[in-house]
Amino acid sequence: MLEKSEVLTDLDVASTTRSVMKKLPEVTLAFWIMKIAATTLGETAGDLFAQTLELGYFLTTIALFLIFVVTLVVQLRSRRYNPFFYWTVILSTSMAGTTMSDFMNRDASATFLSGGATSLGWGPQGLGLGYPVGAAILISLLVAVFAVWKLTGMTFVIRDIVTFRGEVLFWSAILVSNTLGTSMGDFLSDSSGLGYAGGALLVCGMLAVLLVLMKVPVVPNVLLFWFAFVLTRPLGATAGDFLTKPVAKGGLDFGTAGSSAVLLAVLLGLMAYAQVQERRAAFSSAESAGQEAVIQRAA
């Protein structure tokens, strides 16, 4: 049986679309492909600025968080769903989440420095909390966001989020979940003994289980969506590390700059495709609405 929050009558839809346009995308296969591409790029780009360019975790976190704020403001001020705005925020949360996680979990020891580096940037280079403690803090923050969200009485269903407050809560959850996902991915890659490929395969297996659970009526799809959203971040983290890390550490050694450039090109291509699809859908919707208006006048 569908929950009341998941059902919109024709009157509800008409009332909603008059007051605020849909700002978030439909959850399709293309959505998940773009999510993985964006989070993988977030991992390689975050490492590019913090490690390869040796800006350090502290300065890079501040810079990327400011970029996240700017992209979020653009998204919140937009009156309708724009793939470029939406996926730019996803990318900025992934990049900021990468260095925020690294700053929380790592320290200034040579263990976490790229080959040949002796120091990184200005300021403290990590709190050294470790992956378990960092993950526990981030899980607590994510639970707190969802608790506040629940208390507001607003829907968790992404396609039905059409208010400013709902969108702010959504992006708060996205930022924390992407940071948490980075911690999970780094733990799988660095500390679990699975390596980059093994960590990615484990996450893929967990996502496959979620896919099967979609067929189980008693498990809410909204819950599965948020689990999948969190898990695709460690998939991107392990995939990004697999692309960039040295062969001696189990990676392909493509480098952060080269990997980021290729992933950016892929993501921009997907965003352009999504933009074309959105325009076609808007044109088709407008055309159908015009035909209905003509029929009603004729009747």
Q: 196-207 pLDDT, tens per residue?
A: 778 888 889 999
The lowest-confidence range among 1-15, 42-56, 71-85, 284-298 is 1-15
pLDDT computed for residue 8 by the predictor: 36
| Strand locations in the chain (E) | none
Return the sign of the alpha-carbon dihedral for residues 133, 135, 136, 142.
positive
Helices (H) and strands (E) in the chain, counts: 9, 0
Query: Three-class SS of residue 253?
Result: coil
pLDDT computed for residue 218 by the predictor: 86
Under a CB-based contact definition with an 8 Å cutoff, are residues 267 and 87 in contact? yes
Instruction: For the chain, give the longest Cα–Cα distance.
Output: 78
Under the banding of pLDDT at 50, 70 and 90, the label for residue 15 is very low
- Within 10 angstroms of residue 96's Cβ, the number of other Cβ atoms is 27
Look at the pTM and tell me if it is higher than 0.95: no
Residue 55 vs residues 58, 75, 102: alpha-carbon distances, Å: 8, 28, 13
Percent of the chain with pLDDT over 90: 33
Is residue 83 pLDDT above 80, yes or no?
yes
Is residue 288 pLDDT above 90, yes or no?
no
Residue 111 vs residues 104, 257, 259, 264, 269: alpha-carbon distances, Å: 15, 21, 23, 29, 36
pLDDT computed for residue 111 by the predictor: 61
Is residue 129 pLDDT above 80, yes or no?
yes
Is residue 124 pLDDT above 80, yes or no?
no
pLDDT computed for residue 21 by the predictor: 53
Under a CB-based contact definition with an 8 Å cutoff, are residues 16 and 76 in contact? no
The lowest-confidence range among 52-61, 76-85, 135-144, 276-285 is 276-285
The lowest-confidence range among 66-75, 119-128, 280-289 is 280-289
pLDDT digits (tens, 9 = 90+) for 234-260: 888 888 888 888 887 778 888 889 999
